[in-house]
Structure 1
Protein backbone atom coordinates (compact mmCIF):
# COMPACT_ATOMS: atom_id res chain seq x y z
CA UNK A 1 0.00 0.00 0.00
CA UNK A 2 1.30 3.48 -0.81
CA UNK A 3 1.98 6.28 1.66
CA UNK A 4 -1.06 8.47 2.48
CA UNK A 5 -1.12 11.78 0.62
CA UNK A 6 -0.58 14.84 2.81
CA UNK A 7 -3.86 16.74 2.92
CA UNK A 8 -5.26 20.07 3.99
CA UNK A 9 -6.28 20.20 7.66
CA UNK A 10 -9.99 20.50 6.94
CA UNK A 11 -11.64 18.89 3.94
CA UNK A 12 -15.15 18.31 2.73
CA UNK A 13 -16.15 15.84 0.08
CA UNK A 14 -12.74 14.19 -0.01
CA UNK A 15 -9.13 14.95 0.77
CA UNK A 16 -7.26 17.60 -1.19
CA UNK A 17 -3.61 16.81 -1.89
CA UNK A 18 -1.01 19.27 -0.61
CA UNK A 19 -0.25 20.53 -4.13
CA UNK A 20 -0.57 23.70 -6.21
CA UNK A 21 -3.96 25.40 -5.95
CA UNK A 22 -6.35 23.68 -8.40
CA UNK A 23 -8.38 26.89 -8.72
CA UNK A 24 -5.27 28.84 -9.73
CA UNK A 25 -4.51 26.17 -12.33
CA UNK A 26 -8.09 26.30 -13.63
CA UNK A 27 -7.77 30.10 -13.83
CA UNK A 28 -4.57 29.72 -15.84
CA UNK A 29 -6.28 27.31 -18.24
CA UNK A 30 -9.36 29.51 -18.54
CA UNK A 31 -7.20 32.60 -19.13
CA UNK A 32 -5.56 30.89 -22.11
CA UNK A 33 -8.92 29.98 -23.66
CA UNK A 34 -11.55 32.40 -22.38
CA UNK A 35 -9.71 35.27 -20.66
CA UNK A 36 -12.83 37.41 -20.36
CA UNK A 37 -14.43 34.72 -18.12
CA UNK A 38 -11.42 33.51 -16.13
CA UNK A 39 -11.83 35.78 -13.10
CA UNK A 40 -15.52 35.03 -12.67
CA UNK A 41 -14.90 31.28 -13.04
CA UNK A 42 -12.21 31.48 -10.36
CA UNK A 43 -14.46 33.58 -8.12
CA UNK A 44 -17.40 31.17 -8.26
CA UNK A 45 -15.15 28.14 -7.84
CA UNK A 46 -13.47 29.80 -4.84
CA UNK A 47 -16.85 30.57 -3.24
CA UNK A 48 -18.01 26.98 -3.76
CA UNK A 49 -14.82 25.56 -2.24
CA UNK A 50 -14.91 28.02 0.66
CA UNK A 51 -18.53 26.99 1.33
CA UNK A 52 -17.46 23.34 1.52
CA UNK A 53 -14.62 24.13 3.89
CA UNK A 54 -16.68 26.41 6.13
CA UNK A 55 -19.56 23.96 6.34
CA UNK A 56 -17.10 21.24 7.33
CA UNK A 57 -15.56 23.38 10.09
CA UNK A 58 -18.91 24.64 11.40
CA UNK A 59 -20.39 21.15 11.44
CA UNK A 60 -17.28 19.85 13.25
CA UNK A 61 -17.90 22.45 15.99
CA UNK A 62 -21.59 21.44 16.18
CA UNK A 63 -21.09 17.66 16.04
CA UNK A 64 -20.40 17.25 19.79
CA UNK A 65 -23.83 18.83 20.35
CA UNK A 66 -25.51 16.44 17.91
CA UNK A 67 -26.46 19.25 15.54
CA UNK A 68 -26.10 19.93 11.85
CA UNK A 69 -25.80 23.54 10.76
CA UNK A 70 -29.40 23.44 9.49
CA UNK A 71 -30.67 22.20 12.87
CA UNK A 72 -28.57 24.79 14.70
CA UNK A 73 -29.97 27.58 12.52
CA UNK A 74 -33.53 26.48 13.27
CA UNK A 75 -32.88 26.35 17.04
CA UNK A 76 -31.07 29.69 17.03
CA UNK A 77 -33.85 31.32 15.00
CA UNK A 78 -36.50 30.13 17.45
CA UNK A 79 -34.36 31.18 20.42
CA UNK A 80 -34.08 34.69 18.95
CA UNK A 81 -37.86 35.17 18.84
CA UNK A 82 -39.65 36.93 21.67
CA UNK A 83 -42.04 34.01 22.27
CA UNK A 84 -39.79 31.14 21.17
CA UNK A 85 -42.26 30.26 18.42
CA UNK A 86 -42.65 30.86 14.72
CA UNK A 87 -44.99 29.52 12.08
CA UNK A 88 -43.31 26.74 10.10
CA UNK A 89 -43.65 28.80 6.91
CA UNK A 90 -41.77 31.70 8.49
CA UNK A 91 -39.03 29.37 9.69
CA UNK A 92 -38.51 28.30 6.07
CA UNK A 93 -38.60 31.85 4.75
CA UNK A 94 -36.13 33.15 7.33
CA UNK A 95 -33.76 30.22 6.86
CA UNK A 96 -34.22 30.46 3.06
CA UNK A 97 -35.01 26.77 2.67
CA UNK A 98 -37.77 24.69 1.08
CA UNK A 99 -40.77 23.82 3.30
CA UNK A 100 -39.90 20.12 3.11
CA UNK A 101 -36.46 20.87 4.56
CA UNK A 102 -38.05 22.78 7.45
CA UNK A 103 -40.41 19.90 8.16
CA UNK A 104 -37.48 17.47 8.18
CA UNK A 105 -35.24 19.59 10.46
CA UNK A 106 -38.05 20.48 12.88
CA UNK A 107 -39.14 16.82 12.96
CA UNK A 108 -35.65 15.69 13.97
CA UNK A 109 -35.41 18.42 16.63
CA UNK A 110 -38.86 17.45 17.89
CA UNK A 111 -37.78 13.79 18.26
CA UNK A 112 -34.99 14.99 20.54
CA UNK A 113 -37.34 17.12 22.66
CA UNK A 114 -35.71 20.37 21.51
CA UNK A 115 -38.70 21.73 19.59
CA UNK A 116 -42.44 21.13 19.68
CA UNK A 117 -45.00 21.59 16.94
CA UNK A 118 -48.35 22.99 17.94
CA UNK A 119 -51.33 24.68 16.32
CA UNK A 120 -51.38 28.46 16.37
CA UNK A 121 -53.90 29.84 18.88
CA UNK A 122 -54.75 32.55 16.33
CA UNK A 123 -55.23 30.32 13.28
CA UNK A 124 -55.60 26.55 13.63
CA UNK A 125 -54.41 26.11 10.02
CA UNK A 126 -50.96 27.40 11.03
CA UNK A 127 -48.46 25.10 12.70
CA UNK A 128 -45.98 26.72 15.07
CA UNK A 129 -42.50 25.47 15.84
CA UNK A 130 -41.72 26.19 19.51
CA UNK A 131 -38.33 25.83 21.16
CA UNK A 132 -38.29 23.89 24.44
CA UNK A 133 -36.13 24.74 27.46
CA UNK A 134 -33.76 21.92 26.43
CA UNK A 135 -33.63 23.42 22.93
CA UNK A 136 -32.76 26.86 24.34
CA UNK A 137 -29.99 25.37 26.45
CA UNK A 138 -28.54 23.47 23.50
CA UNK A 139 -28.76 26.55 21.27
CA UNK A 140 -26.68 28.50 23.80
CA UNK A 141 -24.09 25.71 24.12
CA UNK A 142 -23.80 25.33 20.35
CA UNK A 143 -23.53 29.10 19.89
CA UNK A 144 -20.66 29.18 22.38
CA UNK A 145 -18.94 26.39 20.40
CA UNK A 146 -19.32 28.34 17.15
CA UNK A 147 -18.01 31.49 18.83
CA UNK A 148 -14.99 29.54 20.07
CA UNK A 149 -14.43 28.17 16.52
CA UNK A 150 -14.89 31.72 15.20
CA UNK A 151 -17.39 30.27 12.72
CA UNK A 152 -14.53 28.61 10.86
CA UNK A 153 -12.85 31.95 10.13
CA UNK A 154 -10.21 32.30 12.87
CA UNK A 155 -7.62 33.94 10.64
CA UNK A 156 -9.89 36.71 9.34
CA UNK A 157 -10.10 40.11 10.96
CA UNK A 158 -13.58 41.50 11.64
CA UNK A 159 -12.96 43.94 8.77
CA UNK A 160 -12.13 41.10 6.37
CA UNK A 161 -15.23 39.18 7.42
CA UNK A 162 -17.35 42.30 6.86
CA UNK A 163 -15.77 42.82 3.42
CA UNK A 164 -16.70 39.25 2.42
CA UNK A 165 -20.25 39.83 3.62
CA UNK A 166 -20.50 43.04 1.56
CA UNK A 167 -19.09 41.38 -1.56
CA UNK A 168 -21.43 38.41 -1.28
CA UNK A 169 -24.36 40.75 -0.62
CA UNK A 170 -23.70 42.25 -4.04
CA UNK A 171 -23.89 38.74 -5.53
CA UNK A 172 -27.17 38.10 -3.67
CA UNK A 173 -28.66 41.40 -4.92
CA UNK A 174 -27.59 40.54 -8.48
CA UNK A 175 -29.29 37.14 -8.18
CA UNK A 176 -32.52 38.70 -6.84
CA UNK A 177 -32.16 37.06 -3.42
CA UNK A 178 -32.29 40.39 -1.53
CA UNK A 179 -32.54 44.08 -2.31
CA UNK A 180 -30.69 47.13 -1.11
CA UNK A 181 -27.51 47.69 0.82
CA UNK A 182 -26.29 45.43 3.62
CA UNK A 183 -27.06 46.68 7.13
Structure 2
Protein backbone atom coordinates (compact mmCIF):
# COMPACT_ATOMS: atom_id res chain seq x y z
CA UNK A 1 0.00 0.00 0.00
CA UNK A 2 1.53 3.27 -1.09
CA UNK A 3 1.70 6.20 1.28
CA UNK A 4 2.12 8.51 -1.66
CA UNK A 5 -0.41 10.11 -3.91
CA UNK A 6 -2.57 8.01 -6.13
CA UNK A 7 -4.26 9.75 -9.05
CA UNK A 8 -6.02 12.79 -7.62
CA UNK A 9 -5.97 11.70 -3.99
CA UNK A 10 -4.75 13.47 -0.88
CA UNK A 11 -1.55 11.76 0.31
CA UNK A 12 -2.16 9.63 3.39
CA UNK A 13 1.03 10.98 4.93
CA UNK A 14 -0.75 14.32 5.20
CA UNK A 15 -3.75 12.85 7.01
CA UNK A 16 -2.07 11.26 10.02
CA UNK A 17 -0.66 14.58 11.36
CA UNK A 18 -4.18 16.02 11.20
CA UNK A 19 -5.52 12.92 12.97
CA UNK A 20 -2.88 13.31 15.70
CA UNK A 21 -3.69 17.00 16.09
CA UNK A 22 -7.41 16.22 16.39
CA UNK A 23 -6.66 13.56 19.00
CA UNK A 24 -4.42 15.91 21.01
CA UNK A 25 -7.04 18.70 21.00
CA UNK A 26 -9.69 16.17 22.02
CA UNK A 27 -7.51 14.76 24.81
CA UNK A 28 -6.67 18.26 26.06
CA UNK A 29 -10.33 19.21 26.13
CA UNK A 30 -11.19 16.09 28.14
CA UNK A 31 -8.33 16.82 30.55
CA UNK A 32 -9.40 20.47 31.00
CA UNK A 33 -13.05 19.45 31.44
CA UNK A 34 -12.10 17.33 34.45
CA UNK A 35 -10.48 20.35 36.09
CA UNK A 36 -12.98 23.14 35.34
CA UNK A 37 -15.56 24.01 37.96
CA UNK A 38 -18.13 26.36 36.43
CA UNK A 39 -20.83 28.18 38.35
CA UNK A 40 -24.52 27.97 37.40
CA UNK A 41 -24.46 31.14 35.27
CA UNK A 42 -21.49 30.00 33.21
CA UNK A 43 -22.98 26.51 32.86
CA UNK A 44 -26.22 28.00 31.54
CA UNK A 45 -24.33 30.13 29.01
CA UNK A 46 -22.22 27.12 28.00
CA UNK A 47 -25.35 25.03 27.50
CA UNK A 48 -26.80 27.71 25.23
CA UNK A 49 -23.56 27.81 23.19
CA UNK A 50 -23.49 24.00 23.14
CA UNK A 51 -27.00 23.79 21.71
CA UNK A 52 -26.36 26.58 19.19
CA UNK A 53 -23.15 24.88 18.06
CA UNK A 54 -25.09 21.61 17.72
CA UNK A 55 -27.61 23.29 15.42
CA UNK A 56 -24.80 24.79 13.34
CA UNK A 57 -22.64 21.66 13.08
CA UNK A 58 -25.21 18.92 12.82
CA UNK A 59 -27.52 21.06 10.71
CA UNK A 60 -24.71 21.50 8.21
CA UNK A 61 -23.94 17.77 8.25
CA UNK A 62 -27.59 16.93 7.65
CA UNK A 63 -27.73 19.42 4.79
CA UNK A 64 -24.64 17.95 3.14
CA UNK A 65 -25.98 14.42 3.53
CA UNK A 66 -29.38 15.46 2.17
CA UNK A 67 -27.67 16.78 -0.94
CA UNK A 68 -25.81 13.48 -1.16
CA UNK A 69 -29.15 11.67 -1.12
CA UNK A 70 -30.34 13.92 -3.95
CA UNK A 71 -27.29 12.77 -5.92
CA UNK A 72 -28.09 9.11 -5.17
CA UNK A 73 -31.63 9.71 -6.45
CA UNK A 74 -30.28 11.25 -9.67
CA UNK A 75 -31.50 14.76 -8.82
CA UNK A 76 -27.99 16.29 -8.59
CA UNK A 77 -24.61 15.57 -10.11
CA UNK A 78 -21.70 14.68 -7.87
CA UNK A 79 -20.05 17.97 -8.86
CA UNK A 80 -23.14 19.90 -7.75
CA UNK A 81 -23.13 18.12 -4.41
CA UNK A 82 -19.42 18.74 -3.87
CA UNK A 83 -19.72 22.42 -4.83
CA UNK A 84 -22.70 22.81 -2.50
CA UNK A 85 -20.97 21.04 0.39
CA UNK A 86 -17.61 22.83 0.16
CA UNK A 87 -18.53 26.00 2.08
CA UNK A 88 -20.50 24.01 4.66
CA UNK A 89 -17.35 22.26 5.96
CA UNK A 90 -16.40 25.46 7.80
CA UNK A 91 -19.80 25.48 9.53
CA UNK A 92 -19.45 21.82 10.52
CA UNK A 93 -16.02 22.45 12.05
CA UNK A 94 -17.20 25.65 13.74
CA UNK A 95 -20.15 23.81 15.26
CA UNK A 96 -17.97 20.92 16.41
CA UNK A 97 -15.39 23.30 17.92
CA UNK A 98 -18.16 25.23 19.68
CA UNK A 99 -19.55 22.04 21.12
CA UNK A 100 -16.15 20.88 22.35
CA UNK A 101 -15.29 24.24 23.94
CA UNK A 102 -18.68 24.64 25.59
CA UNK A 103 -18.67 20.97 26.58
CA UNK A 104 -15.50 21.56 28.57
CA UNK A 105 -17.38 24.07 30.72
CA UNK A 106 -20.36 21.74 31.13
CA UNK A 107 -18.13 19.42 33.15
CA UNK A 108 -18.65 15.96 31.70
CA UNK A 109 -17.78 13.09 34.04
CA UNK A 110 -15.43 10.76 32.13
CA UNK A 111 -15.98 8.12 34.81
CA UNK A 112 -19.57 7.68 33.58
CA UNK A 113 -19.89 5.02 30.87
CA UNK A 114 -22.26 7.03 28.66
CA UNK A 115 -19.98 10.07 28.83
CA UNK A 116 -17.03 7.94 27.74
CA UNK A 117 -19.09 6.74 24.77
CA UNK A 118 -20.08 10.32 23.93
CA UNK A 119 -16.47 11.48 24.13
CA UNK A 120 -15.43 8.63 21.84
CA UNK A 121 -18.18 9.60 19.39
CA UNK A 122 -16.94 13.20 19.36
CA UNK A 123 -13.44 11.93 18.55
CA UNK A 124 -14.90 9.72 15.81
CA UNK A 125 -16.79 12.70 14.34
CA UNK A 126 -13.65 14.84 14.27
CA UNK A 127 -11.31 12.23 12.77
CA UNK A 128 -13.96 11.22 10.26
CA UNK A 129 -14.28 14.91 9.39
CA UNK A 130 -10.58 15.13 8.56
CA UNK A 131 -10.89 12.16 6.23
CA UNK A 132 -14.21 13.36 4.76
CA UNK A 133 -12.61 16.67 3.79
CA UNK A 134 -9.70 14.87 2.15
CA UNK A 135 -12.15 12.62 0.30
CA UNK A 136 -14.12 15.69 -0.78
CA UNK A 137 -10.96 17.25 -2.25
CA UNK A 138 -10.11 14.01 -4.03
CA UNK A 139 -13.58 13.73 -5.55
CA UNK A 140 -13.50 17.38 -6.65
CA UNK A 141 -10.16 16.83 -8.39
CA UNK A 142 -11.42 13.74 -10.21
CA UNK A 143 -14.86 15.00 -11.21
CA UNK A 144 -17.97 12.94 -11.85
CA UNK A 145 -16.29 10.54 -14.29
CA UNK A 146 -13.22 9.94 -12.09
CA UNK A 147 -15.15 8.93 -8.99
CA UNK A 148 -14.24 5.29 -8.59
CA UNK A 149 -16.44 2.76 -6.85
CA UNK A 150 -13.88 2.60 -4.04
CA UNK A 151 -14.07 6.36 -3.48
CA UNK A 152 -17.85 6.28 -3.49
CA UNK A 153 -17.88 3.43 -0.96
CA UNK A 154 -15.53 5.48 1.25
CA UNK A 155 -17.90 8.43 0.86
CA UNK A 156 -20.82 6.26 1.99
CA UNK A 157 -18.90 4.89 4.97
CA UNK A 158 -17.89 8.41 5.96
CA UNK A 159 -21.51 9.60 5.80
CA UNK A 160 -22.72 6.66 7.91
CA UNK A 161 -19.97 7.20 10.52
CA UNK A 162 -20.82 10.88 10.63
CA UNK A 163 -24.52 10.27 11.17
CA UNK A 164 -23.88 7.57 13.81
CA UNK A 165 -21.45 9.86 15.62
CA UNK A 166 -23.62 12.98 15.60
CA UNK A 167 -26.89 11.23 16.45
CA UNK A 168 -25.22 9.05 19.07
CA UNK A 169 -23.69 12.07 20.81
CA UNK A 170 -27.02 13.93 20.65
CA UNK A 171 -28.87 10.93 22.09
CA UNK A 172 -26.44 10.59 24.97
CA UNK A 173 -26.61 14.33 25.61
CA UNK A 174 -30.39 14.06 25.76
CA UNK A 175 -30.27 11.08 28.13
CA UNK A 176 -27.84 12.93 30.41
CA UNK A 177 -30.11 15.97 30.50
CA UNK A 178 -32.92 13.79 31.85
CA UNK A 179 -31.02 12.76 34.98
- State the TM-score, normalized to the length of structure 1: 0.26
- State the TM-score, normalized to the length of structure 2: 0.26
Q: Name whichever structure is richer in strand by fraction.
A: 1
Using CA pairs under 8 Å that are at least 6 residues apart, name the structure with larger relative contact order, 1 or 2: 2
Q: Name whichever structure is richer in helix by fraction.
A: 2
Kindly name which structure, 1 or 2, has the bigger radius of gyration based on alpha carbons: 1
